Amino acid sequence: MVVPETSELFAVLFYNDGEVCQIPDDVQWFSWYSEQEQNEPEDTYSITYKISYEDEYAKNGFQDGELITLNQPLFNYQESEFVNQLMNQENPVIHVTPILSSEDSEELLKQLKLCNAWIRRTGENNILYTQETFDIWEYSKRDDSPKIFKDLIAKLESDNLLKVMRKLTGMKVNELREVYAFHMRSNEFITKHADSSLCGQLLVRFNWLLQSPTGREHDLRFWKGKNTNEPITRYKAISNSATIFYLGDSTPHDLTSLPEDCDQDRYNFVITFGDHANCIFKSINV
């Protein structure tokens, strides 16, 4: 897909039946404008989505996830300094802090707020969400990108961080796959879902929180895989901390709604690591 810089909106379409995500075999092109008068469709319908899991919350109750406080920012670790594997199939989610130095995380947040690249994004069908986002990895390649963006991507792409990630997660992560910035306002939310691994291409995901409304105690909440009878683990909304988890059916989760009268917005990063050996490359003739 080629999108000129002047474009304000574009869409990416893929098949998702709730369990399997598939990359389309064909690419179809659509016209996004017409000089002809458009008629409203004759038949319209609406879908009612279940966006509340209060019955599960009440039935199962909550347990608070452990916060692991490191002796230095995670992105500053050398492989030899990080000894213990913290994640496994029995413990597929961890919560750690700090991720970046206080000074750098504050500068990063400042530049995110000043950035004008945000695009509104909403979801439906198997997941509902409302938020703004942009691909900070691509944005960092611009000549006028803030230095802190470029410095962050350099850390994320470093061989040293990949080695630390392999030791921390026990997974064969060989490359950085995604880096997206997200912004959420009053009353916005994300409903329960499990992130696809795209057939093993994506393995480990960071949800790194930079800012959350004052008084909002919890951020992400995780279920025990498909078992809905166990307590739901919720993780505290702490700035410069990251919830790190394996992708797939073992880590379904949602995001607590932002308060209606929140004093500040939520800013976070979603960072994904994967295994290039599992990537499927296709030749497309356009």
Question: What are 137-176's pLDDT values in tens digits?
Answer: 999 999 999 999 999 999 999 999 999 999 999 999 999 9
Number of domains the chain contains: 1
| Distance in angstroms between the alpha carbons of the first and the last residue of the chain | 10
Q: What is the mean pLDDT of the chain?
A: 83
Which residue has better confidence, 53 or 236? 236
| pLDDT exceeds cutoff 50 at 67 | yes
Q: CB-based contacts of 190: which residues, under 8 Å, 6+ apart?
A: 127, 128, 129, 131, 254, 255
In a domain, 286, yes or no: no
Backbone angles phi, psi at 249, to 5 degrees: -70, -15
Q: Which two tokens stand for residue 276?
A: 């290039």
pTM, 2 dp: 0.78
The whole-number average pLDDT for the span 237-256 is 94
In a domain, 49, yes or no: no
| pLDDT exceeds cutoff 70 at 106 | yes
Q: Are 101 and 148 in contact (CB under 8 A)?
A: no
**For position 93, what pLDDT does the model report?**
97
In a domain, 22, yes or no: no
In a domain, 99, yes or no: yes
Kindly state the percentage of the chain with pLDDT values over 90.
Answer: 57
In a domain, 225, yes or no: yes
In a domain, 285, yes or no: no
pLDDT band at 268 (very low <50, low <70, confident <90, very high): very high
In a domain, 107, yes or no: yes
Cα–Cα distance, 216 to 234 (Å, whole number): 12
In terms of residue numbers, what domain contains 148? 63-278
Q: How many residues does the chain have?
A: 286
Kindly state the percentage of the chain with pLDDT values over 70.
Answer: 76
Query: CA nearest 273: which of 196, 205, 198, 207?
Result: 205
The whole-number average pLDDT for the span 244-269 is 93
CA 185, 188, 194, 196 torsion-angle sign:
negative
Question: What are 112-121's pLDDT values in tens digits?
Answer: 999 999 998 8
Q: Which two tokens stand for residue 8?
A: 């304000």
pLDDT band at 11 (very low <50, low <70, confident <90, very high): low
Cα–Cα distance, 242 to 99 (Å, whole number): 7
**For position 6, what pLDDT does the model report?**
62
Q: Which two tokens stand for residue 88?
A: 């496994």
The whole-number average pLDDT for the span 45-59 is 58
Tokens 């505290």 label which residue?
A: 236
Which CATH number covers residue 253? Answer: 2.60.120.620
In a domain, 34, yes or no: no
